[in-house]
Chains A and B, each alone.
Chain A
Amino acid sequence: MSTGNMNLTLKVWRQKNNKTTGALVDYKLADISPDMSFLEMFDVLNEQLINKGEEPVVFDHDCREGICGMCSMFINGRPHGPKDLVTTCQLHMRSFKDGDTIVVEPWRAAAFPVVKDLTVDRSAFDRVIAAGGFISVNTGNAQDANNLPIPKMQADAAFEAAACIGCGACVATCKNASAMLFVSAKISQLALLPQGQPERYRRVQSMVAQMDAEGFGNCTNTGACEAECPKGISLENIARMNRDFASAKFVSEETV
């Protein structure tokens, strides 16, 4: 890792666990390279802390290539930092200036309790998926793919919805901590394809019910989620979910 010439002040949220309250702690970093990723900068900080015999900062990460959805830092008031369509791991220090003060906080939502420092528990998302974000397939021979013609536009829209990596930035940035963008993406990727049809109206009811049970807030259409989502998930998905929900509740005879 090349050394550079950036000097930074970090204000990082430190919190021992869910039971204690945390606080922002100041750290000075010198000789940071603009080519480092944001997480590599945190690696440097942690090495320094370890060398001093202090506790390193705990933060989530896995792939570090923008596809797993684990990294989750609220940087200077924005999830995944100042760049559009970028996850924290894909953010580079060249997006900051020498001498900057950078405030780093965990996702804040009742449904995402802090585990430690910058790591939050996002298993609420897993429970929403488990409530209906799947299709049931009876086993047997795979049929010919041409038996299921899918219009290109439809396939593209499903693909775009499926790009959601479940990072939770939408919840983090929403003033209401609403999970509508995430849930609508997970509903849409199946609602747009033939395989998703049999369970379509059951799915939307179950997943919305689970979303509410987890304590996420209610959407007020500010559009912050769409603006901050690293995968560009569109608000159209929320409208589709609302339509499907209305059909499920007022038209479909199936109750969940």
Chain B
Amino acid sequence: MSGFGNAFSSSIGKKFIMGATGIFLVLFLIVHCGINALIFLDDQGLTFNIGAHFMATNWIIRAGEVILMLGLLVHIFQALRLTLQNNKARPVKYAVNDGKANSKWYSRSMGLLGTLLLIFLVVHLKDFWVVSRFTGIPSVDANGHEDLYAVMRDKFQDPVRVAVYLLAMVSLCYHLLHGFASAFQTMGWNHSKYNGIIKSVGVWYSIIISIVFAAMPLAFHFGLIK
């Protein structure tokens, strides 16, 4: 890759990687959220379990899962590297710095929001991914499919877990509110005819994704779906 020189080690190249993996994760969340929303059909999870079964067994999805994990790791690792570099770029801090006068707090707190999401992710993967892929789902539903729905229902009886998930979805919402439009700017896709659309799609996307996800633990916890 010598022809590409320092394409990815330069500041802009590193940002391309953040933006590209970010857009990839944005797309993944649509799939994840869409399939999980099947629980709201309130059919004892029969349809949801079919979806979950497909996701767990289809080889294209499984290969995609590996790419997803890699994308996620790159996003996290690159963010860490960039943050360390950025801290070095200002060794002496200001005594008074009025950040709110010129930028949104969440645009300045992507590292913090991302860290909260990372902690959540560990909890979340342990709750469901490890169970469905490794330790095994204990029961089957009326169709004979592994009953991931029942696992969700049981786990979300714990109020602490519900609270953790809700907090994580607030973090996700703010992380996306900045990240979505930011990725476009980084990739250079700034165009007066499209900027308005990018901005509003970004806001709606962030809010809808977070609310639909947040509704899942709440619905189970308060018995709105059985």
| A228 to B97 alpha-carbon distance, docked (Å) | 13
Given contacts A240-B188, A242-B186, contact A175 B92 (CB under 8 A): no
* Least distance between A82 CB and chain B CB atoms (Å): 8
| A133 to B97 alpha-carbon distance, docked (Å) | 31
CB under 8 Å from chain B, chain A span 185-238? 205, 208-209, 211-212, 215-224, 227-228, 235-236, 238
CB of B96 within 8 A of CB of A110, answer: no
B88 beta carbon closer than 8 Å to chain A: yes
Total contacting residues, chain B, CB less than 8 A: 43
Partner of A78, one of B5, B93, B102, B104: B102
Given contacts A110-B90, A242-B188, contact A175 B108 (CB under 8 A): yes
Partner of A208, one of B12, B101, B185: B12
Task: Point out the residues of chain A lying under 8 angstroms from B14, CB to CB.
Answer: 218
Task: Point out the residues of chain B lying under 8 angstroms from A175, CB to CB.
Answer: 86, 90, 99, 103, 108
CB of A236 within 8 A of CB of B190, answer: yes
CB of A108 within 8 A of CB of B15, answer: no
CB of A74 within 8 A of CB of B89, answer: no
Task: Point out the residues of chain A lying under 8 angstroms from B200, CB to CB.
Answer: none
| A162 to B189 alpha-carbon distance, docked (Å) | 22
B residues with a Cβ closer than 8 A to A are 3-7, 10-16, 82, 85-86, 88-99, 101-104, 107-108, 110, 178, 181-182, 185-190
Q: List 28 A-B contacts (CB under 8 A).
A: A24-B95, A74-B94, A77-B99, A82-B101, A103-B96, A105-B96, A110-B88, A173-B102, A175-B103, A176-B90, A178-B11, A208-B11, A211-B11, A215-B88, A218-B15, A219-B15, A220-B86, A221-B181, A221-B182, A221-B186, A223-B102, A240-B188, A242-B188, A243-B188, A245-B13, A249-B4, A250-B4, A255-B5
